[in-house]
Structure 1
Amino acid sequence: MRYAVQWLRSLVFVGQMYVMLPVIGLLYMPGAILSRKGAVRGCKAYCNWVRWTARWMVGLRTEVRGTPPDGQVLIASKHQSFLDILLIYSELPAGRFIMKREILWTPVVGLYGMRIGCVAVNRGKRGAAIKKMVQDVARGAQKPGQLIIYAQGTRVAPGVKAPYKIGVGVLYEQMGVTCVPAATNVGVFWPKRGIYRRPGVAVVEFLEPIEAGLGKEAFMARLEGEIETASDALLHEAGFAVDERT
């Protein structure tokens, strides 16, 4: 019975979340068209709306730990569900994502993605895709802010291992900037797929920065080690049996 009630609460929450996406998007649209700051305000309004409604509708509290960076940095994060996108963006002054090119054609979301300076990439042949990504990032280098990339390239459920993509190492090397790793446990409460939202505390944690200048291989090893260790600790805190991961 308790599960059924929580599932129904989750259904209502998810429904209103998707209804409010175009509502908030259209409300802030004039400002978003006029300036990047206007688009940022609209994006943050939606992030904050979802965080607020998740708390009282499904009992899911959200927490961001560590120090969100405010300079010109690369953020390499674990990605488990849509929720970590919202948590990371809501805490940054000028975040922009490396995102799939298909998202550009999504109503409302695509426009805001372009306006805040996201970099759209194709999922094609790895070498060509990485080269194009580096070129597109360089082309938008004059846009200030924090460039966010998901180190494994896609959402990875808790308990599942997936390789870290070399693209994050290439960007770190080419951009010559500090990288801030980010760990999370949000997938325990907000899954990659499905309606059910589990009550609890979903966390994104900004870790200690990795300064520029490491070799690509050394950087990749350190990045994966730090993110996975911190994410495992957060999973354990959330009651997930880390030793069951496959």
Structure 2
Amino acid sequence: MLIVRSLLFNVAFYVNLVLWLIMLIPAFLVPRRVFMRLVQTWAHTSLWLLRVIAGTRVVITGREKIPPGGALVAAKHQSFLETFALVTILDDPTYILKRELMWIPFFGWYLAKARCVPIDRKAGSLALVQMTARAKDEAQHGRQIIIFPEGTRRPPGAPPAYKYGVAHLYQNLGFPCIPVAMNSGLYWPRRRFIRRPGTVRIEVLDPIAPGLPREEFFQEVQARIEGASNRLYEEGRRELGLGPSSSSETSLSKA
């Protein structure tokens, strides 16, 4: 049943995505804020499909900790799930993402409409300058800048691999940073089509006020995200009947 439900969900998810990509074509003519509300509606439909077909609920706690206006959102990244789940709880989100995603037909066009912030990883220090200027402009217009500090998906329980881009943004934006922890990779493993039934937990943590020294912030944001994510990881393992994790890498972490 796990394989059947996972297969059915994946088909429904991508059919729904394609339909929304087509339906959103006229949205190029509407204001960006209206466009973002439509994107949030798509995200809600995707979460509904995940719950109804795969039996995977997504519970997001700590929404009340999100301050109004501009902010930097530093989130754990374990699966594709959080890339759309996070937009359902933020007022006007945008993403830091690799420039190549902007080149994908339709999908990339919508990223441009949403005024996402691309980064050219081959441009070195110039990329940080350009990214920061764009992100600061968006934050000053009241937007929440979402960044995955590790740069790519990491298996649940894997050692952290944070990059200094998040500290660079924090230091230059002058806005609070909202850490976000989760255990999504247990239920939506990277590079696999399996969707495990259960409860994905995403937790918004206490904001980090602007003004901390760069290195102090870098250590603090890691400690908060990793501490909470490890706790949620253990909760998820218990729900899935896996028991407490050991020092050796589990089969789920290798997924």
**Partner Cα distance (2:156, 2:33) in 1:** 34
2:108 is the counterpart of 1:76:
no
On the 8 A contact 2:70/2:140 being kept in 1, the answer is no
Distance across 2 between alignment mates of 1:33 and 1:110: 16
Q: Which segment drifts farther, 115-124 or 208-217?
A: 115-124
Moved more, 125-134 or 211-220: 125-134
State the distance in 1 between where 2:126 and 2:248 align.
32
Q: Which residue of 1 aligns with 2:63?
A: 67
Amino acid at match of 1:177: F
1:31 shift after superposition:
2.8
Unaligned stretches of 5+ in structure 1?
none
Q: What displacement does 1:140 show? A: 4.0
- Give me the identity figure in percent: 33
The correspondence of residues 149-160 of structure 1 with structure 2, limited to 5 A, is 149-160=147-158
Deviation digits for residues 133-191 of structure 1, max 9, x if unmatched? 22332454553210100011111111211321101000000011100000010000001
Q: Give the drift of 1:38.
A: 2.6
Deviations 1:69-88 (A, max 9, x none): 23211000100111011221
* Letter in structure 2 aligned against 1:130: L
Conserved 8 A contact 1:24-1:42:
no
Superposed, which structure 2 residues align to 1:158-173 within 5 Å?
Answer: 158-173=156-171
Contact 2:179 2:225 survives alignment (8 Å): yes
State whether residues 158 and 245 of structure 1, in contact with CA within 8 Å, keep that contact through their aligned partners in structure 2.
no
TM-score by length of 2: 0.89
* Aligned residue-pair number: 242
**CA offsets per residue over residues 90-143 of structure 1, 9 Å max, x none?**
111101000111111223321221122210111225433323322332454553
TM-score by length of 1: 0.92
C-alpha distance in 2 between matches for 1:245 and 1:81: 21
CA separation of 1:64/1:106 partners in 2, compared to 1, >3 Å: closer, same or farther?
same
Query: Which stretches in structure 2 are left out of the alignment for 5+ residues?
Result: 250-255
Q: Which amino acid aligns with 1:39?
A: F
> Does 2:44 correspond to 1:39?
no
Which one-letter code corresponds to 1:205 in the other structure? E
What CA RMSD, in Å, does the superposition of the two structures yield over aligned residues?
1.7
**Mapping for residues 43-58 of structure 1, pairs under 5 Å:** 43-58=39-54
Kept in 2, the 8 Å contact 1:35–1:115? The answer is no
